[in-house]
Structure 1
């Protein structure tokens, strides 16, 4: 019996599901092929996270695509307080400041496909993600973004990352509304104000 050569692998199916818009069928096929031709057939899954939600998606991608995982971290961590982080990121964006990275990908040249995950901050990409893209050469690589947002969509994040890596190819990625840290903080503070559980 002849093997079924049309049967998709789990990796191909996941890549295709991430690149879901029907208008991007040709881009999906290209990304599926590229995702298997990086380091030993592996893509790189690079991500920045604050609350850990993006890490969950990155870990899933890394496991199901047999990809290498890399966490994008600033040399100086963002504040633990959510609102302090928002203020700092706003100042960085207004000054066009690129925060220094804790580490870079040592073997980036061996990957053809990079899944890039980050939360949407202030309807844009976090400054540290711009640092990551500007810090190394992504020429000719296919970057597939995956993002969580708090209800306001992607904003200008796609334009920002495209301008930070102008020689890379960008494929349609994955986006979903995630847990809203601001809303959670406000609800907890409201509860504390009304109930004063320390009494």
Structure 2
């Protein structure tokens, strides 16, 4: 994928997200202006391929909110398949990786927009770490979730169990996992080439 293709894909994703969010807001009750809301609102997210980051940026700009990227202390491998294997091991063992940092002023936020991709039919292990590391009791969590076509899995149950006392609202969900499809298409293409030789 060229830089231009990636930029175009992210632009389309941001546009689709903005339209979807605008449609959701049109049906909602009136809310305070973004500037009044922004000081009490946090947009936090974990991303690997960048899809969830695009959505987080769209929300953050629309609300004038604080933005925080969730990162493990030890980054996941750059290789996609290695990341999948590591995340599967972590999920199966219940491992919760240490975080690279925490939100210093979490108590000052009433509302937390939480962005995450679906990994192995659940929330990534680092999301469990983030939720356990922060006291979110009494706060409203608004999840925004990207997935590769397999749906939410048990991710909402993970949020409920790891953020006790939080008010978890229905999620914004978008299918946006181009990386897995690209890899499948490339492997299929290579298989065709090898089959012809």
Partner secondary structure for residue 60 of structure 2: helix
Following the alignment from structure 1 to structure 2, what is the Cα–Cα distance between the partners of residues 122 and 79? 16
Contact 2:42 2:113 (8 Å CA) reproduced: yes
Specify the alignment match of 1:63 in structure 2.
61
Q: Deviations over 1:98-125 (max 9, x none)?
A: 0000000000000000000000111110
Structure-2 separation of matches of 1:91 and 1:82: 14
Q: Distance in 1 between matches of 2:29 and 2:117?
A: 26
Q: Which one scores higher on RCO, CA 8 angstroms, separation ≥ 6?
A: 1
Which residue does the alignment assign to 2:128?
Answer: 130
Aligned-partner Cα distance in 2 for 1:16–1:142: 20
Q: How big is the shift at 1:85?
A: 0.7
Per-residue CA distance 1:45-80 (angstroms, 9 max, x = gap): 000000000000000000011111100000000011
TM-score (normalizing by structure 1) = 0.79
**Higher relative helix content:** 2
Change (3 A) 1:127 1:19: farther
Name the Cα RMSD after superposition: 2.6
Counterpart in 1 of 2:112?
114
Give the length in aligned residue pairs: 176
The secondary structure found in structure 2 opposite 1:80 is coil
SS in structure 2 of the partner of residue 118 of structure 1: strand
Task: Look at both structures and tell me which one has the larger radius of gyration over its CA atoms.
Answer: 1
Higher mean alpha-carbon deviation, 46-55 vs 172-181, is at: 172-181
Structure 2, gaps ≥5 residues long: 1-19
Corresponding position of 2:51: 53
Task: Indicate if the aligned counterparts of 1:39 and 1:111 stay in contact, CA closer than 8 A.
Answer: no
Aligned CA distance change for structure 1 residues 159 and 64 (closer, same or farther; 3 Å): same
Q: Secondary structure at the match of 2:173?
A: strand
Correspondent of 2:162 among 144, 161, 164: 164
1:147-186 matches, cutoff 5 A: 147-186=145-184
8 Å CA contact 1:117, 1:147 repeated in 2 = yes
Determine the C-alpha separation between the residues in 2 that align with 1:46 and 1:193. Answer: 40
Gaps of 5+ in 1: 1-13
